[in-house]
Structure formats: structure tokens, C-alpha cells
Structure 1
Amino acid sequence: MERAYHKWFSPSLGKYMEILVFGHGGTPVIFFPTRSAHFYDFENWRVIDAMKDKIEDGHIQVYCVDSVDSESFYSDAPPPLRIARHIQYEKYILEEVIPFIRIQNKKRELIAAGCSLGGYHAVNIAFKHPQLFTKVVGMSARYDLTQPLPFFADLFDGYFDENIYYNMPNHFVPGISDPELLALLREQEITLVIGREDTFLDNNRHLSDSLNQISVPHAFHIWEEEAHRPRYWREMVKIYL
């Protein structure tokens, strides 16, 4: 399995960012890390190994990006600055990572995927930019970071503004009415996966219900137990990516 390491200074973020790329071709996958995790964690957790056959066969090419969650959602900055840093991260993905992928890989299709907070990142960016993403897979994710849950706080301490609204799928999805945006979302292959005992189960049900309300087809899979660990994600990527 081909493996390549890349690093460059990001103008969007004002810091160096790193990426691991697995595979020689196939549909590119932007794989977002879990909460405050890094670009190398999916390799260390053997989640990449679980996709080895698909990668070696040229079915997919996986781009493991880094995160800035500790500088955004999980920072001590005031809430408006937390969401502003997240928006800078999205700009990094849109204006730096995707153009980098297009140089490496000429396939038109593009997949966003992630586990836990990475699943939030994948779904949020794919739903906001369906003209870029043809498929999205969110595993064990939370789609409203403003909602306090057992063991999980409101990441904005009760603060709410337009930037937060447009970056929380459970808030903005029910309000989507633009015909062009809806048409693009209805063409996307959308998969949500969550464990039956996961704290985020109702969060996922809410998003699924919201997609149904705006007639956006999607697959919603509920696994047994919590299913919020690398050993489950290793099985999920085999099935859904």
C-alpha cells in the first residue's frame, strides 16, 4: 500500500499542517480525525489497515488530514473565536486540501468521512458544499455541538450566533430550501452510522429526521452496543467506504 507524507504552511490557519495519503488512485476520501486527534491516529488504530484491500485495489485513495479542534471547539477562547477558528479550518480544507487532492487525483468524485468529531466535520462540510462532495460517511458523530449531553458539554457555553447556526447540521439542515442546494444533496450518497448505546444516538436520529423532512435520501444504520471505538470503526469502514 502506497503511503505518502505531506506538510505545508497553511495560509488559512497560519501554521504548518500535515497529511498522510494512502493509495495510488481511486475515489479520494478526506478522512477527518476524532476529537483533538491527529492525521496519524487512524493509521495507528489500524483503521487504515481495515481498508487495505480497497486502497491497494485502487478503489479509494485516503487523505488523512489533521485537525485544529484544540484551537477551536476545545479551546479556552471566547465562543465567537472558537467558531471563527473552525471556519478558518474549513477554508483550509476547501482552498488548500481539495486543490492538493485535485493535483494528485483526477477523479471527479470526492468523499468526506470521519469518526466521532471527525464525522461531524465530514457531514458539516459535505452538506454545506454538496457541489464538491459526492459521498459522505459520518460514524459515531454528534451533529449539534451546542446541545449538552451526558459527559459532553455545550462547546459554546450557551453562546449562539449565525456562524454557529450554519455550522451545526442539526440546526441548518431543516431550514434548507434552496432548490439547487436540495438537488445536489439529493444526489449525494449519505451514510450515518451510530451505536444503539451511543450518547449521540438521538442526535443522529434528529439529523435523519431532518433529512427526511426535506426529502434527502440517506442511509441510517444503528449498530449494537456503543460502537464508538476504533475496533468498531475498523468494521464500519469496510462496509461503508
Structure 2
Amino acid sequence: MREVSLPDGRVLVHGHWGRPVLLFPTEQGNAHDAESNGLVGAVGGLLSAGRVKLYCVDSFDGASWSAGHLPVEERARQHERYEGWIVGTVAPFIADDCGGGPVEIITAGCSLGAYHALNIALRHADIFVLAMCFSGNYDTTSWRGWGERGMSTYFNNPVSYVPNLHGEHLDWLRSRLSVLLVCGQGRWEDTTGALESTKWMAALLKDKGIKVELDLWGHDVPHDWPSWRAQLAHHLPRFC
């Protein structure tokens, strides 16, 4: 593992070669969470074999979506600062670290990290061509938000903007992006809104002709790290 300090943040790099995966932490998590909660170990064989490199980043949720004292539109604007860092600093670093030149990056995340993985891929499919999303809630307006909802909220709320995708941009997304939505049906998947939101998001993407795969695990699979370890280990080998 390498820890790399970048302007305004850090990235932890796991692996020496292979398909780059940008892994977002859970809500208000940090770059060490994937390792400390077993996600890195779950795909250790892929890392050792040089099939994948994991790039783990810190969250910015405490100043954006989790900042309950801020109106939702301001949270969305703060989130856009984080997205700007990912697109403008982290993605170029990943490209350079993978040998330079264009590189197609996978995004992945669990819980709120799943939202980040999907939203940034939908908004920047020129960089991110596959989003692997585990137990996400993709409706930002359901996160105890208050205040007026403006353009920043709309354009960072997938369940709002996906139904209105059309024309050449939609055609381009159809040709470019793939989405994997995974969710258990056990404890906390209902109370977090993840199960219903995952099914809703899959239906919206399917309706628009965007490549999406929905994988619902059993009623004994909760919204928790053991589930996400198993799900990541099950799916990631197909893509690297």
C-alpha cells in the first residue's frame, strides 16, 4: 500500500498493476476504511495477480451531504467541490500512475459511497466507464434535507436527472457507461432506503437504455461490511 498526498487530499493505492478502481468510502469515511473493513483483503488475489489497482480516497461528506446544518442546495454545491477534486486531481493522478495516457477507470462504493460512484460516472463517463454500486441510496433529497432545491441539487440527484436524459448525450452514455447495482434484502437495507432506491435506479437506467445490471442478494444479507466484502469479491473479477 502507498499513501500519496495530493493537493487538497490523499489517495491510498493498493496493488502494483491492473485495472484502476476508484473506491469511495462510506459516509464520512476515509481512505483507510476499505482496508480496515476488509474490502482490500476480499480482492487480495486480484491485487497480487496484477489484475486490479485500488485507489481509495477520503470523503468530503462532513462538509457536504452529511452537513445537516446546511440547506440541501448548499450541501450540493459543497459536494461539487469534492467532485471537482476527484475529476481534476485524482483522476489525472490515476492516469499517470497507470502509465500515462487515457485510462478507463471503474468507480465503486458502498452505501453513500455507492451514490458517489454512480453520480460521478453518470456525470463524467468520459473518465469513468463502469460504476459498481453496493447498497446505495440515489435520492439525495431523501437524506433529511431542508431548504430550497436548485440546480446543484438537481444535477447531483440521479433519480431526478436520469429520467430527463435525452438526445445525443443519452446516446453517448448508452455507448459508454455500464452500471452494476447490488443490494442485499436483509437488515438495514430497507431503513436506509437502499433496497428501494437500488430497484428504482435500475428501472430508471433500464428505461433510458443505459447498460445496467441489478443484483439483489438474499434476505439474510444486511447493509454491512461482510455483505460488501462478499459482493465485491464476487463481481470485481468479471471486470479486470
Q: Is 1:177 aligned to 2:172, yes or no?
A: no
CA distance in 2, matches of 1:119, 1:161: 23
Sequence identity of aligned pairs in percent?
30
Residue of structure 2 in register with 1:87 after alignment: 80
* 2:7 is aligned with 1:9: yes
- Report which stretch shifted further, 180-189 or 223-232: 180-189
* 2:37 equivalent among 45, 66, 71: 45
| Distance change (3 Å), C-alpha of 1:178 and 1:221 | same
**1:167 and 2:156 matched:** yes
Q: Residue 78 of structure 1: CA displacement? A: 3.4
5+ residue gaps, structure 2, are none
Instruction: Report what 1:63 is aligned to.
Output: 55
The one-letter code matched in structure 1 to 2:213 is A
Q: What count of residue pairs does the alignment treat as equivalent?
A: 227
Maintained 8 Å contact 1:194/1:222: yes
- Are 2:111 and 1:116 aligned? yes
Alpha-carbon offset, residue 137 of structure 1 = 0.3
Which residue is 2:215 aligned to?
Answer: 221
Q: How does 1:184-199 map to 2 (within 5 A)?
A: 184-197=173-186, 198-199=189-190
TM-score (structure 2 length as normaliser):
0.90
Instruction: State how far apart, in whole Å, the 2-side matches of 1:39 and 1:61 are.
Output: 14
**Cα shift at 1:79:** 2.9
Task: Provide the secondary structure at the position in 2 that maps to 1:146.
Answer: helix
Alpha-carbon deviations, 1:5-45, whole Å to 9, x = none? Answer: 011332xxxxxx12110011111110000011111011001
Q: Distance in 2 between matches of 1:9 and 1:29?
A: 20
- 1:36 paired to 2:25: no
Contact 1:124 1:168 in 2 (8 A): yes
How big is the alpha-carbon RMSD for the aligned residues of Structure 1 and Structure 2? 1.5
C-alpha deviation, 1:227, in angstroms: 2.8
Q: State the alpha-carbon separation in 2 of the partners of residues 195 and 186 from structure 1.
A: 29
- Report the residue type matching 1:9 in the other structure: P
> Residue 71 of structure 2 contacts residue 146 of structure 2 at CA under 8 Å; is this kept in 1?
no
Q: How far is 1:182 from its partner?
A: 3.0
Matched-pair contact (CA < 8 Å) for 2:7–2:89: no
Instruction: Give distance in 2, aligned partners of 1:58 and 1:105.
Output: 12
Q: Tell me, what secondary structure is at the counterpart of 1:49?
A: helix
Closer, same or farther in 2 for the Cα pair 1:70/1:238, shift >3 Å? Answer: same
TM-score (normalised: structure 1): 0.89
Unaligned runs of 5+ in 1: 11-16, 148-152
Query: Which residue number corresponds to residue 14 of structure 1?
Result: none
1:158, distance to aligned residue in structure 2 (A): 4.9
The answer on whether the counterparts of 2:184 and 2:227 sit within 8 Å (CA) in structure 1 is no
